Structure 1
């Protein structure tokens, strides 16, 4: 889903709002609830390389049986990944991921993806606990 909001300029509340919009859109199209989990965001390759955190694309993973034809396919391949459990640290960890790729002579060959692997609210915390995977497709330099 494309939005008119760059969620990197906002806090978790705006991200939650966008997730709700995405979920409502899926419900309106009568898609099964299984698609509501594993939400994520894209940052295009060029912006990731420049560390310009400007993105307005939020998504859910779907399977081959998803009825919608206008989907973006995420190619199989080698991905460099880093994991974190603090939504507010995504940009810092994305920078670490890029540094790792540079130090290990990996070529970035696609868009950066932030995927929510799991989330839950714990007791009296006011915001969700999220476990995130930051990933970018890579190839080895020659």
Structure 2
């Protein structure tokens, strides 16, 4: 039978054999994870058995998948398979949550990158066109109604207050602050048909976001849209109002029929440089039915 002296390893040898640092071995010793097989009383030198490499491998494997030293110690001390299985399930769930959050962060970063590209190479502005759009999902938030054709300063104040309300709703519903970008506005079909440019709803496109049961949902309908790109200082509704009137005149001239709400989808913003006077690049859209409008 092999004696301990035959496979005794100094802390340096143990570290080199297992590709870890001596500092790590001391840390595992201090936390009761890997106690040296022998400690020289006179010199306080730590000595390990080569057989302890198996336990060290287990520690390193569990540490590499995110388990804390305390969790690892509990598993090794209890030697209970059911506890180990429960901990693994818990860690898998945590990793899946992290993956979801990282993917969401990646999406946000890609949108920010697209914002930069849109402003460095903007689409053609003020050119009305028609396109088909698939159905989309959005979060919507009730805001204090305001008329786009009123005083510009008043409209800017209204929109700032609307953004504050949206931000508060995100916080209340434990939604990431990263969602607080590209907040758009909606004018109902009812108001459009009545000739009113009265906005009472803000929205955030939610196609790439999880469900939040307490947050109101808005369905952006599939169909044909009359669209135009424009940009203006955030909250300056006078430019937007003129753009909406142009869209509505285009629809009337072509004998189309409005069949849904007007949506102002923010494509890009320059808030990263100047919050007070930043520009918003907006895709203005009104769904239409192409055919006779039955106007008399």
> So what's the TM-score if we normalise by structure 1?
0.85
Match for residue 71 of structure 1 among 214, 217, 220: 217
CA distance in structure 2 between the aligned counterparts of 1:141 and 1:30, rounded to whole angstroms = 45
Report if aligned partners of 1:7, 1:56 keep a CA contact under 8 Å in 2: no
Helix, strand or coil at the partner of 1:67: coil
- 93-102 or 46-55: which moved more? 46-55
Give the RMSD, CA atoms, in angstroms.
Answer: 2.3
Deviation at 1:38, TM superposition (A): 2.3
Name the residue aligned to 2:146. 6
Deviation at 1:128, TM superposition (A): 1.5
Gaps (5+ residues) in structure 2? 1-140
CA distance in structure 2 between the aligned counterparts of 1:60 and 1:35, rounded to whole angstroms = 8
Query: Is 2:186 the counterpart of 1:47?
Result: no
Match for residue 80 of structure 1 among 226, 240, 245: 226
Query: Is 2:170 the counterpart of 1:26?
Result: yes
Report if aligned partners of 1:35, 1:62 keep a CA contact under 8 Å in 2: no
Gaps (5+ residues) in structure 1? none
Aligned length: 142
Q: Which has the higher contact order (CA 8 A, sep 6+)?
A: 1
Q: Which has the larger radius of gyration?
A: 2
Q: Deviations over 1:41-79 (max 9, x none)?
A: 111113213321222111111126322363121111111
Helix, strand or coil at the partner of 1:56: strand
Query: Is 2:240 the counterpart of 1:90?
Result: yes
CA distance in structure 1 between the aligned counterparts of 2:171 and 2:276, rounded to whole angstroms = 26
CA distance in structure 2 between the aligned counterparts of 1:31 and 1:110, rounded to whole angstroms = 28
Name the residue aligned to 1:62. 206
Helix, strand or coil at the partner of 1:105: coil
Helix, strand or coil at the partner of 1:6: strand
Q: Deviations over 1:83-110 (max 9, x none)?
A: 2112430101100000111112221100
Report if aligned partners of 1:3, 1:56 keep a CA contact under 8 Å in 2: yes
Name the structure where helix makes up a greater proportion of residues: 2
Report if aligned partners of 1:49, 1:98 keep a CA contact under 8 Å in 2: no
Report if aligned partners of 1:51, 1:95 keep a CA contact under 8 Å in 2: no
